[in-house]
Amino acid sequence: MSYQFNIGCSLNNLKGVREFIRNSLTGQGVSDLEMGAIVLALDEMCSNLMIHAHHCNPDHHITINIHIPTKSQFVFEIIDDGSMFDINQFQEPEIDSLVHEKRKGGLGIRLVKTIMDKIEYVQEEGKNVCRLTKSV
Amino acid sequence: MVHIKRLQEDGIDILSIVGEIDASSSIELDLAIAKSVGEGFKKILVDCSALEYISSAGLGVFMSYIEELRDKKISLVLYGLKERVFNTFSILGLADLLNIRSNRQEAKTLVNELSV
């Protein structure tokens, strides 16, 4: 089974991203807590991409694909054609330094890395594909 | 979308968050806490019972106030978090950095103890 969603890079569209993920995963045997965590991870990835690669330009679009190859396994793809923002290359700050430096960033990346099993980046047909894998 | 309602009770400023906090709405939370701090409240409660969702943008706001609150001797206690919202705090280990109680009564007790 697979699902697709296209959105402009406006932070106002994050709610739509969350609804798309929830609707697609409903009935797939995902617990409430797992659902919450997965929805959160996709929200974090999309907001990062919108802010850092697209400067919240609503005319720029990103695509989200969900593939469910086998029961309880989910593959999420976030596709865009901006500059690649690879969170694997980003060293998330320690929690202590976040408190001290009053930085309001870095937490999202930590969340995604904690929640997802695997985060990969590839180039396909000239586009950036970020592939997130999660088994529940 | 998020709405933050404020009311004062026994010298405590109570901020009630209604809705979802994400990267588009975390500024509302930031402004509400800044206002409470700016007005000189020493005891702040954050009612999260109608908070349906929070992303790192909202968590970051709470984190960013930890030192300022400590310096100004202001106590802030969150209460009424839904399980999935609490889970977001737990994943990052933030539940230990912030004061969180299950209901308003416990939160009031703690905020009063902390500001003694």
Distance CA A45, CA A94 (A): 19
Q: Do B24 and A14 touch (CB under 8 A)?
A: yes
> Domain ranges in chain B?
2-114
Q: What is the pLDDT of residues B79-108, one digit of tens each?
A: 999 999 999 999 988 888 999 999 999 999
Q: What distance in Å separates the CA atoms of residue A14 and residue A16, rounded to the nearest whole number?
A: 5
Comparing alpha-carbon positions, the chain B residue that sits nearest to A33 is B84
The secondary structure of A40-75 as a DSSP string is HHHHHHHHHIIIIITTT-TTSEEEEEEE--STTEEE
Among candidate residues A91, A68, A82, A96, the one with its CA nearest the CA of residue A129: A82
pLDDT of residue A82: 82
* Across B35-59, average pLDDT: 97
Nearest CA in chain A to B90: A111
B66 touches chain A (CB under 8 A): yes
Picking from B23, B56, B61, the nearest residue to A11 by CB comes out as B23
ipTM: 0.91
Work out the pLDDT band at B1, boundaries 50, 70, 90: confident
Here the tokens at position B34 are 């800044």
Whether chain A has a CB inside 8 Å of the CB on B24: the answer is: yes
3-state secondary structure B3-59: EEEEEEECCEEEEEEEEEECCCCHHHHHHHHHHHHHCCCCEEEEEEEEEEEECHHHH
Residue keyed to tokens 């089974």: A1
B2-114, CATH topology level: Transcription Regulator spoIIAA (3.30.750)
Residue A91 has a pLDDT of: 73
Number of independent structural domains in chain A: 1
Mutate which of B28, B29, B56 to test chain A, going by most A C-beta atoms within 10 A? B56
Give me the phi and psi of A56, to 5 degrees please.
55, 35
CATH at A46? 3.30.565.10
Structure tokens at B56: 């790192």
Specify the pLDDT at position B33.
98
Q: What is the mean pLDDT of residues A105-123?
A: 91
Predicted confidence band at A43 (pLDDT cuts at 50, 70, 90)? very high
pLDDT beyond 60 at B50: yes
What counts of helices (H) and strands (E) characterise chain B? Answer: 4, 5
C-alpha separations of B52 from A107, B32, B85 in Å? 19, 18, 7
Question: Residue A131: which domain range?
Answer: 2-135
Query: Which tens digits make up the pLDDT trace of A82-106?
Result: 877 788 877 777 777 667 666 556 7
Q: What is the mean pLDDT of chain B?
A: 96
Q: Tell me what the pLDDT averaged over chain A comes to.
A: 91
pTM of the model: 0.92
